[in-house]
Structure formats: C-alpha cells, structure tokens
Amino acid sequence: MHHERPLSRRGSERMSVRSRQRRRSEDYISMPPRSRRQSQETQRSSLAGDDAVDDEDGVDIATSYSGRRSQRRESRNSRSVFENVARLFRSSSGSESPIGSRSRASSAGTSRQRRRTHSRTRPEESDYALDDDEEESERWGYSSQEEDSSSSDELLGEGADIVNLSSEVDYGSVPPSPTPSLPFLSSDPIFGDTRIDMDDSSRTSSPPPPPGPPSRQRIHLTDEDTTVRFVGQEVIQYRQRLWTLGSVITFGALGLIGHWFPRVWLRWVAREKAFKNIDHGFVLVETLSRDMVVVPLSKLPYPYPISTVFPETTTAPMSTEECLPLQPVSSADVRKDVGESADCSISCLQVVDYRYTRFVLNPENGLFATIRDWRDPAWTTVVNVRVGLQETVRRQRGCLFGRNSIDIQDKSTVSLLVDEIIHPFYVFQIASIILWSIDDYYYYAFCIALISVLSVTTTLVETKKTIARMREMSRFSCVVGVLVDGVFQDRDSSDIVPGDVINLSFPELTIVPADMLLLSGDAIVNESMLTGESVPISKAPIQEQDLTKWRDTGEVTTQTTKGYLYAGTRVIRIRGNSTSSMISPATAMVVRTGFNTTKGALIRSMLFPKPMGFKFYRDSMRFIGVLACIAGLGFLASAFQFIRLQVPWNTIMLRALDLITVVVPPALPATLSIGTSFAVGRLRKAGVYCISPSRVNVGGKVNVVCFDKTGTLTEDGLDVLGVRCLDRAGDHFGDLLTDVYDIPLISGKTSFLHALATCHSLKVINGEVVGDPLDVKMFQFTCWILEEGRVGTGAPRRSEGRSTGERPIALVQTVVRPPGVGGFRLEDALRSGSRHAHFLELGVIRTFEFVSALRRMSVIVKRLKRSSMEIYVKGAPDMMYDICDKESFPRNYEDLLSYYTNRGFRVIAIAGKSIEGLSWLKAQRMKREQAESGLTFLGLIIFENKIKPGSTPAIQTLRGAHLGCRMVTGDNARTAISVARDCTILSQSAHVFYPRFIIGNATSPNAKLEWSSVEDESLKLDDYSLRPLPPPPHHVEENEIAYPDYALALTGDVFRWMINHAPLETLQRMLVKTPVFARMSPDEKHELVERLQSLGYIVAFCGDGANDCGALKAADVGLSLSEAEASVAAPFTSHTQDIGCMVDVIREGRAALVTSFSCFKYMALYSLIQFTTITLLYSFASSLGDFQFLYIDLFIIIPIAITMGRTLPFPRIHPKRPTASLVSKKVLTSIIGQVLITSGVQFWAFFWVRSQSWYEPPKSESVGGKLETKNYENTTLFLVSSFQYIMVAAVFSIGPPYRQPMWLNGWLIICISVLSTFSGLVLLAPTQALAGLLDLMQVPMQARLELMAIVGMNVCLSVGFEKWCQEAVANMVGKLIRRRRRGRRLHGKVYKAVESVY
C-alpha cells in the first residue's frame, strides 16, 4: 500500500533522491486535487496501445497516450541493503577497500541546496527508526532499467493499469584496471570508473539488524550529493584464520574468489555488530550505486572532553537518516539518560576515514557524524571570534581535524603492481600463459607475457605520473600569521585549525590556504578554479547576522559568500582597515581545513567521480559469458571424441582450458579502449581537453544539447548600443543617445548619468578597472574616473552637528568623478565657500550586491557637499514594476522594451531616489527592502550582444541531426527568444507561447497559468495538455497550429512552480516542447538538466562555467568554454570559445562508440572463427601449431584491432544515433550471420579436403601427449581462416554515417593489404622455410586455386550479407518480436511517449 507523505519545499524545490518511480509518485502526491484528477486520467495507460515504436536499442515502447480514467496503482520492489554485493572487480584506496560495483544512481537527484536542507533537518538515526515503506522505497543497491527489465513484465502483467516510464540513462563506464586510490586515473576510456555486478544470486532481502545499539546508519554526503549506508561488522577471528589458511592451501585462489565475490568473504569471516561494540572489525560502506567499501574503524587518542567534538546542543547534525524529519538532538539529554557527566573526558575517539572524509562515532548514541560541518558554539559574534585560540585549544583541534593539507595518499609501485595483476583480466592472462607454457607453446606464451608486462609497466608509469601530478596540484603550504594566545605568530599553513584567526596582510598571501570567513579588511580574489570564469570577485567582512546564520545552519548563502574565502582561490588584492592614524591588517577566521574545504571537495570529486552505468560493458560481459558457454559445449563434443581416441586425460584437460582462452581472448579489454583513446587524442588536438574519457562514448548517445546564452551562444563582451532617457515631460522616452555627453542633466537630485557611474561593483587593481564585464562596459561608457576608498571601521566625524565635507576615507567604498575634475582634498574644504564648488565627486556609501533571485543590485551614493543621499538600482526591466512608482514609467515603456528585446538586445533598467538627511550610520542599517522601494524610473541602457559567428552553423548542424537544442539563460525572455530565432534554435515561422500567472503567483500552489503567443496574444494553449486552442472566431488562420509549428518559452519562476505544483503530464510536455528557458538561476539550470534526464534524454550542457557549474556537472556530457586546460567544472573543457566544439564532441563520441562496437564484434568473430577451427581439429585429436597461433594473434589480430580505431568521424552528424546495446537486433543479426557464414565455409573446406584424391588421413596417435598439428585439415583450415580474420575486419569497419569510409583510414588499408598479400603468398606459393615454420602440408596448385576461390566466395557472402541482407533480417526479427509481444507493455523512454502525443 502506498502511504502518502507530504513533501517539504524550500527555494527552488527539488524532488528527493530515490528511484524515479518513487519520485513520480511524490510528484503526484504534491499536486492539488484538480491536478491529481487530471494526472489520473493519463496515468493509467499513458503508453498503452498495440502499436509500438521500435527503440533503436531494441526496446519497444508504446505510443498511445490515452486519457482514460482509472485507479492509479503503484508497484514497488523491495530492495535489500546488501543487494548484489558480489562484484567482479575491486579497487582500494588507502584505508578503504572498494569491493563492490558501481552503476548509475537511481534518481536524477536533488539540488545541492535541497540536500543541504535535508542534511540539517534530520537527526542522525539508525535503521531501527525506519518504517517498512521507507525501507523498501530507498532501493539500496539500485539496479538499472536494463537489469530490471525481466521483472518489470511480472510487475505490470498483461492487464497492468499503468506503465512505469523508466528514466534510467543507459550509459556509463567500468574500468578494466583496478588501480586503487584514484579510480579515474586508471579508468579505461570504455569502462571508465564503474564496476559491474556479476553475481545476481545475492538479490535477497536484507536481514533485520541485531538487537541493541545501532549497527546501521545512513549518512548524506552533501559535497558528493549522495547518500551512503554504514554497517558495522565484527571479524570472527577463527574464521578469518581458516580463510587465510584456505587461501594459502589453494595458492591464493580462495583469496581471489573473496576479492572478486566479496559476499562469500563477508558471510564467512564477519557478522553485523553495533558500531560502539566493535572490537576487531570494520565498517562496511554501501552507496546507492551498489558500491561497497571496507573501511577500518580506527581509534584516535583524544584526551579531551566529549563536548569539544559534539557540542552541548547539536541542531541539524552532520550525519542524517535520509527519511526522517528534523529533531534537534541535545547531547546533554542523552548524557542524562546514560548517567554521564555533562563534560566528561574520553581517552579515544572511534573514527572512520572514508574517501578522505572523517566520521566520528558519538559514544552516547552510537552513531557517526562527519566533522566537516563542525562549528564552534562560541562563534556567536565577530568580536568573539577575533580573539583567536589558545595553544591548548589548537592542539585539541589539530588532533580532531588533522593537518590542513590535501595530501593524496601515494602508493608504492609494488602495491600498484599487485592491485593491477589481481584484476580478473590479468589473472586470466597469467593463467593462459601458464597453460600455454605447460602445453609447450613457448613462443606464443612469451609474446603474450611480453605484451602483458609492457601493458602493466605502461599503466604503472602513467598511474604514478598522474598521482604525482594530482599530488602536486592539490598540495599547498605557505607561511601565515596565526593569532595564538593573543599574539600573531608565523606558522605553516598546514598547522592551522578551525577557529584560528589569520593575518591576511602579513605575510602576503597569494593562495587562500583554507576556507575562511573574512573578519576585517577587504579582498579581491579569482575563483576561476571553482567557476571556470576568470572574473575578480570582491569580498567584504562577514556581517554579524550572516555569521550567526552560518553557525546555526552551516549554509553558505548568497550573503555569506560575500565574506567567504574559498581554499585554493587566487588572491588578487588584500587590504586592511584604515583609520586616520594607522592601518590594521586584514584578518579572517579559518572554518574548514584540508579535504573538508571547497578545494578538498573538488579534489575528491576528481578522485571519486559519480558512477555511471553504460550497458555496453554489461552486455559485453554477458556476451563473453555466452562465448564461454559455447566453449564449454564445444569442449564437451570434443571431449567425447578425445575419449574415443584414447587421448590422455591430462591432454584433455589442457585442451579444455585452452579452448576457453581461444573463445575469451585476453586482449579484449585493450582493443575496446582503442577507439576512445584515439578520439580523446583528436579532441585534444582540436583544443578540447577531457578529464573523463568514459564520457566520450556517452557523447555518442546525446540527444538534447542545452546552451547558456551570454558568452556561449553570444559574444562574451557586451557593447553599449546607447541609452534611452526620459524626455523633459517625463512621459515618453527620448531618442537613443550613443554619446555620454548627450545625456541630459536632470534638475532633480537623482541623475541617470550618476547612476551609470556608481551602480556597479567595480574595483581598481594596478590602475585597471576590473569586475563584471557588463559593469565595466557601462562604466567605460561614462568616461568617468574610478577611485577606491580605503577600508576602515571608524565612524564619520561631525562638527557642530553637520558633516565637515571631508570624505571619510574609512567609510566610502568607491569614489567616481568626471574626467578633468581633480580629486577633492582636505585643504580644499578649508577654503572659502565658492572656491571648491566646482568639485563633482560621488562616493558609494553602501552596495547591495546583485542577487540572482532579485535580478538587481543597488548602491547608496552621497555627492560631495550634499546633505542628502541617493539610491540607484540597476536590474531587469520586468522587475522594475515591483519597486518603482508606477507614475514614473513612460507611456511607451512596454513598446520600447519589446522593440529592443525582440531584436536580441540586452536591456538594463535604471531607477533611483533621493533621501534627505540620511546619515552614514542610518545608511548602513537600512534594509535592502527599504532601499529598493518607492523608486523613480530613470531610463534604459541597451547592450548589444552579438551572436558568435560559429553559433548558428553549429545549431543548424545539431538540429539537422534531429538533436534537441535548448537555450538556458538568465536573461530576459524576449531577448532569449530573439537570440534563439537568430541562431535557429527557434524557426522563424514558429509560434512561441509564453506563460503568465492569471491566478496567484509563483508561490501559490493553486495558481493558474495562461499560455499566450508572443506574436499574437489571442492565440492560447490549453493549460493542461499544452495543445493549441482553436483561434477566436474573428481570427484569420488557414490551419490550426500543428506540432512543429509552435514552441514554448518560460522563465525560472514558472519553471519552479511547474516543478512543484503542475500535473506530471503537463510538466513532461513542457520539458519536451520548451526550447527557451529564461531568467534561470544556477540551481534551476541544474534542476532542468536533471528533469530532462528523468525523461530519458541524454543531456549535454555547454556553458562558460560561471553560473553553470551545477548544470555542467549534472549533465551527461558537460562542456565548459574555459581557458583552463582542464576545468573541474566539466568533463570537457574547450580552448575554442565556440559551440562548434560541441559538434566535435558528439561526432567523436559517435565514432568512438561505433569503433568500440566494431572492435568488439571483430574480437567476437575472431574468437568464434578460431573456435570453429579448433573444434574441427579436435574431432580427430589435432590442433593449430604454435607459430600458427602466433601468426594469427600477433600479426593479424593486434595490428588490425589497433588500426580499426583510427578511422575518423564522419563530417556530418546523422539523424539517428548509434546503438549502445550489444543485444540489439542489428548487432546480433550481424554477428550471428557472419558466424554462420564463416563457420559454414570452414565446414565446407574441412569436408572438401577430405574428399580430395591426394588427401592422406592424419596420424591418430599423439606424440608425448601433444596433439598432431601437421595434417591436411590443419593446413586447409589455417589458410582459409587466415583470410577470414582479415575479411571480417573489412566487413566490420563501419564507415558512414558515423565514421569516414574505410579506405580513408590509411593505416587500416595498409594493414589489410599487407596481410592479405602475405596470406595469399602463404596460400599460393609458400617458401619451404615458411611452410615448415607454419606446419603446412604440400598441397597441389589446383587445390590451392580452389581454396582461393572458396575464400573469394566467403568475402562476397560476408560483404553482401552485411550490406544488403543484415538490415532486412533485423527488421524481420523485429516484426516477429513485436507480434509476439503484442499486448505487453514495456518500459521505454518517457520523452518518446510524450512526443507521440503530438
């Protein structure tokens, strides 16, 4: 039974991270009654119907989106805590030992802001507090859509009422190399960073926890935006010893089994136990992506009171139980219950260091809490924190937090080597080499061993280099002044602890060594490491209320950010406080150190990237399993013949094992990564750098691309087109003024020119004005001079109750004056009245910074020798209605605004007001709401934002390939629509519908939207179905608006309202039909990407990295247009400031994906061709010779596999994406068809040679237990199969539409030509030495010519089938499958179902 649970919302609310089906249910719950009824109409059979559209990956989806009413029913799968624990691969890092697998998390996720709220609004709890429904809904060990496909039909059944619109994305990565410590460093470009679960037997229900204190706990990791589960485990000593003994007896085989299948090891040596009662055990960490890590539970000597770790009252503890509401936890209450004193000392702490994050066990409640969000209760006021720390307190905190260093653990070469060679593929290679050596295949075994050694050596060298590079990048230390016992002392930055007060001025800092709050002075820093945009950011001292809010909640809000210095950011300038007599240094308080800092979080995100699940790898592993089964069947048939021929048992066993090495080639992983490696190299030459090679293949499946506007589609810099001021009457706009000297001087105290000169956040560094590019352009337009005031803490001096006229150097932030006017000096104020009247100087007393939610900024300005102060506001024109006097707007305001925005210009509105007698102190205490109200509209400044030359061609290319293009911008909606039309995101003839609230507003759950055409407001959309309504009777329209003829555009507030309150079907249709999203905040951009992913889209996002970091990281393919070689904000970074690089990424991704498929198909055919040859030879106790194996594997297979990956991508992007499934109809049809052809030819050749008159039967007995290799069957099959290996490479070297034709790959053509010529020479005219080396029999010339004819026939059949018959057979198979599945409802992509409605 489904229990409804109301959802809490805050800000731009996000849905909780659970399964997509769960989130869909929550969306339904949150609807108002009307919306629920509407939702129910389409929930029942939203995809029902007999007609189905065939998915390109071989999945049928229904197309009927009917509106029949029915009772909604939800199906749930109960998931085990330890579900699918056993893994094939493992990696370890430091004290942690990953023993699990990773796959893509089940949900599109929630915003980091929402996650932070969750992490502070729920207490730390154990699993005992969970109810059954919540336990089931969490779906720990979530399995992807493809893995659940078998069970989905059982859940739905023939008469299912609903269809589960699965939104899983079928891509990702899994590494073949388990190099520890840095998963992404050893990631294969194909397999990436995810491990695959090969043990499905573990899909059992989780047993209940043992009675007593908690042994399980769920903790939300805010930085990683995920949730993990801790499970306490106690090692059973005697069982551990028995396991060790068994590993020794089996020569390590048992240890490898436990390494690859950890559930076996866990069940034998450990049992679950409460955290606080563990004596000799560990903590098992399980993630939502089915990754399991063994982390030791360490004891840290800590002879200090427990209150220093867990304060008296812990509101919103750091570790949370995901499903529970907030309950403030009072440590004093807990201590009272257990009878402990309020400030008891402890001897040691039990800690867990997981992924460089420390978790401390609270001895009172037996639960873990992370120290990252620890905050001292004494941080109540700025005055309190300025006193610094005592040395004893510093020692205590140093013991708890450790050193302030981001030191990535280095591993020895021996450790890396061991981790590398125990990987399953290398173990398989070692076993194969031993087998071949026993079988006297010395030459082949030596060559494979040499290749393996070179491969391992290369991997180790590259890993060591990458680790060294990462360590060099992450480590930083400098000398800082630390306030210890009331005196500043020079200390190394690695010794600072939270609470330390740092002197930022002396010694001078270049890099911020830790996360700090600025207490005094000011700073200008470059945060490009965080944002990817190299723009100076001003920092001001933290305000009292902001400090208190941060201490209570831990949130770094917009206000807190102004005084927050992030570790790793570059310091441009630091200034101390100034008074008339002295200059005091700038100071800051350390709040986070080491890996707990923002820089540490970024480093962790690079070390442990979010897992993804690419079904290509999973399918490949399953296919290899099928090949192994085929090998077993072949051996059973051969074993029967061996026994009949009385072959020794040791030979039979060797042949059985050898057959496995034939079917499962050891070189398979290396060949699969070739295409991706070449693609990454080509992208690097094009100026696109990739830090996550696994995303290259994902780029081949992208079907929606989102673009930021400013700096991405349009030029980065804005040019001032001109200004529009009010005319003298004030009821109309005047002409466009392109010269600042033409701006009229208003007789009142507020001036449009003064607003342009002061309403900004610019700074002067080395004589250069720096800041936001828009502000710089606006100020340069005025031609005024900017001068910064020095920072101070004093108060303005007064003489006889009025201002002295002196500019208080400690109180004025910025001073501006016109060109040619000298600066005001103190002696000028002492002269007679009119002598200094010519001075025109404006001082910025206070600045209200730009806030994305408000879309405006403001300043309080004082003009020299005036008793009043002016307030100027600059912001979005549509926002001015809320803060300006309605009478101050000119009559043609809307018309003029529409004129410019519809033509793509960026328009900024200016307003102001004057307040008489406003003092400096009152100005500092004034609230923003008071300052930004009752304003008078002054005019507009128009910026020209030109579209980049490459934007339109790139968009046309993408749209021509049927890829959806979205513009996501913070700019005005009409401007965005205009730019979208200019760059062809919107067609010129399309109707664009824009919503507005006619009932309620963005905060009203029961609000109502009206969708009207931008061009003709009489055209409307139905607010539920978003279909065009019939035009009004008087409207002249030839035809009704069809699906391709209209699009939607909306703003961030409407988007947020629809996310929270709109019916699910309406929300889905909006996401599909909207190409323009305007006024979107960074969080809303992030949310949009996740919502598109929830529909089944594979989303690429291209931005400049400034406000797009969240979206870039959330997207499947994030491309940052940044000057940095590699930005942590995105997997791809382009030096070319042009979206054309996105086209390159998609082209290379498709080529790499197709190359991976081609290489896998080729390796599969190579295995099956050789398997057929060996099986036929086994039938009479024969086999291939040593040099025959060597020639095939080293001189044919490896060169061809390498050169196949060098084929370049096709210049044009094809409308249909390549498949990512090995089990799709086309892939299986191609493989099976070629297997039948090649096997048939070999069988024909086998029986043909036996029918010849010159044929002599081979010797039936074996010599020394070895199989005979020199006979006519061997010679015939070897000669024919040698051509088949080459021919199959040509057949599978797919060219257009994803790659260039094969003949343009010069290396492949040379390789095929040389090998074909050599094989022809061996067939027609082999030398005596060559024939002896390859164990060839003398065959008559006539027979050789007949064999050449057989080879030619094989080539014609294979090429003809692949080119003409394969697709027809695949279509026929598809029709048969659809006919058999008629009436069954299958999972499919949501967006396809939504598109099918129109």
Catalytic residue numbers? 708
Which residue(s) pair with 369 in the sheet? 360
Q: How far apart are CA 1305 and CA 1325, in angstroms?
A: 29
Quote the tokens at residue 1323: 């067939």
Sheet with 348-354: list strands edge to edge: 298-301, 348-354, 357-361, 368-370
Cis peptide before 1297 (omega within 30 of 0): yes
What number of residues does the chain have? 1398
Q: 1038-1047 contacts: CB < 8 A, separation 24 or more?
A: 1041/991, 1043/1398, 1044/990, 1045/989, 1045/990, 1045/991, 1046/990, 1046/991, 1046/992, 1046/993, 1046/1013, 1046/1021, 1046/1073, 1047/986, 1047/990, 1047/991, 1047/992, 1047/993, 1047/1073, 1047/1074, 1047/1075, 1047/1076
Q: How far apart are CA 173 and CA 194, in angstroms?
A: 5
Neighbours of 923 (CB within 10 A): 18
Q: How far apart are CA 1000 and CA 154, in angstroms?
A: 44
With contact defined as beta carbons under 8 Å apart, do 43 and 68 qualify?
A: no
The residues, ordered by sequence, that sit 6+ positions from 217 with a Cβ below 8 Å of its Cβ are: 124, 125, 126, 127, 229, 230, 275, 319, 321, 367, 368
Strands 1046-1051 and 1076-1078: parallel
With contact defined as beta carbons under 8 Å apart, do 1162 and 735 qualify?
A: no
Strands 570-575 and 522-526: antiparallel
Quote the tokens at residue 356: 């460089």
The residues, ordered by sequence, that sit 6+ positions from 1297 with a Cβ below 8 Å of its Cβ are: 1210, 1212, 1214, 1216
Cα–Cα distances in angstroms (integers) from residue 1211 to residues 38, 118, 476, 577, 676, in the given order: 46, 48, 45, 60, 18
The residues, ordered by sequence, that sit 6+ positions from 1328 with a Cβ below 8 Å of its Cβ are: none
Give percent helix, percent strand, percent coil of the chain, each to the nearest 5: 40, 20, 40
Q: How far apart are CA 1177 and CA 1280, in angstroms?
A: 14
Quote the tokens at residue 696: 């290259």
Using alpha carbons, select from 911, 754, 776, 912 the residue that is nearest to residue 843. Answer: 754
With contact defined as beta carbons under 8 Å apart, do 76 and 1239 qualify?
A: no
Q: How far apart are CA 268 and CA 263, in angstroms?
A: 8
Using alpha carbons, select from 805, 839, 804, 807 the residue that is nearest to residue 822. Answer: 839
Q: How far apart are CA 1045 and CA 1038, in angstroms?
A: 13
DSSP 509: P
With contact defined as beta carbons under 8 Å apart, do 1056 and 1084 qualify?
A: yes
DSSP 277: G
With contact defined as beta carbons under 8 Å apart, do 1148 and 959 qualify?
A: no
3-state secondary structure of 814: strand
With contact defined as beta carbons under 8 Å apart, do 1056 and 1082 qualify?
A: no
The residues, ordered by sequence, that sit 6+ positions from 923 with a Cβ below 8 Å of its Cβ are: 845, 846, 860, 869
The residues, ordered by sequence, that sit 6+ positions from 1307 with a Cβ below 8 Å of its Cβ are: 1203, 1206
Residue for token pair 């940052």: 1120
